[in-house]
Amino acid sequence: MLQSMTGYGCKEKDGIRIEIRSVNHRYLNINMKMPATLIKYDIVLRNAIKGVIRRGNVDVYISFLPEHAGKVLLNNNYVANLIDTMKKLKYDYNLEGTMDVSTVLSFKDAFMSEPEEVEEGLLLELLNSALDELCSMRVAEAQSILNEINIGINDIERITNKIEEKSKGFCDRAIVRIEKRLNELIGQIVNDRERLLQEAAYLAEKTDIREEIDRLKSHVKQFAGSLFNNAIVGKKLDFIVQELYRETNTIAAKSQEYDIVALTVELKNKIEQLREQVQNIQ
């Protein structure tokens, strides 16, 4: 099913929380933040994500909740060194005051936690549940984008049809314009009217836009069909949009009629709007 690249998922169980966010990215980019004791599962978790998500910038946050704090242990070596240092400081500089438990508590490194062991199966269970939630959001977002895309495709098709209608008789009109212009420039010097028409027809053919219009229609049809053929179509749709833009630029460059040029400006605006929507499709 079609998915966007924007989504969020979060699951908690047995004192562990996994949060996943995804946004647009040309490729799949996974960033993971987790407690040091879980780093050994990094590759396993990344592979699980790759099996579900193909494109997007994915941020994964794994954290322990208070109920999974584990045992709190005294950092004996640190505390012993701290006490010796404080005694030496007091003796060397003849300082007043005493050291008690509250003094030791003010140093965060005096204590260390020993978290409980986390099983790989639990992490994968939480990750997959969070991924399901994220993908559900991505699918819902894609449906909203799809509505906008369909509007954009219909607009592009409508404008293309207008350009095609305006272009009918284009070559004949081009020949008349070229012939008139040449007559203005050279007057009676050219007596070979047949040769003149041949040259005018050649120049008119170079400005013929019928092939570009046919390709525009073909790209629109291919784009619409791709939306329902494969769940991973973002890159393909982006390529087709580039081709739509290229054909439109060619029409604008070749056409010498104001109405057609004005329509290409409108068409390029619609294609740009379509590109913005497509860039969020996986």
Task: List the chain domain ranges.
Answer: 7-68+118-136, 72-114, 139-278
Confidence of residue 214 (pLDDT cuts 50, 70, 90): very high
Main-chain phi, psi angles of 202, to 5 degrees: -65, -45
Whose CA is closest to 126, among 5, 29, 19? 19
The shares of helix, strand and coil residues in the chain, as percent rounded to the nearest 5, are 65, 15, 20
Q: What's the rounded Cα separation, in Å, for the pair 60 and 34?
A: 8
192 pLDDT higher than 80: no
Q: Looking at the DSSP assignment, which residues form a beta bridge with residue 196?
A: none
Mean pLDDT, rounded, for 83-96: 87
- Separation of alpha carbons 158 and 160, rounded Å: 5
Per-residue pLDDT, 227 = 86
CA 229, CA 25: separation in Å to the nearest integer? 22
Minimum mean pLDDT range among 84-98, 177-191, 204-218: 177-191
Mean pLDDT, residues 173-181 taken together? 67
Q: Report the pLDDT value the prediction gives residue 281, as an integer from 0 to 100.
A: 92
Say what the pLDDT of residue 114 is: 66
Residue 68 has pLDDT above 70, yes or no: no
Across the range 87-111, mean pLDDT stands at 85
Whether residue 70 is predicted with pLDDT greater than 90 in this model: the reply is no
Of 36-40, 51-55, 98-102, 206-210, the range with the lowest mean pLDDT is 206-210
pLDDT of the residue at 94: 85
- Residue 271 pLDDT exceeds 60: yes
Average pLDDT over residues 47-65: 94
CATH of domain 7-68+118-136: 3.30.230.10
Nearest alpha carbon to residue 169 among 128, 219, 217, 204: 204
Per-residue model confidence (pLDDT) at position 44: 96
pTM of the model: 0.71
In this predicted structure, what is the pLDDT of residue 257? 80
Sign of dihedral through CA atoms 119, 121, 123, 125?
negative
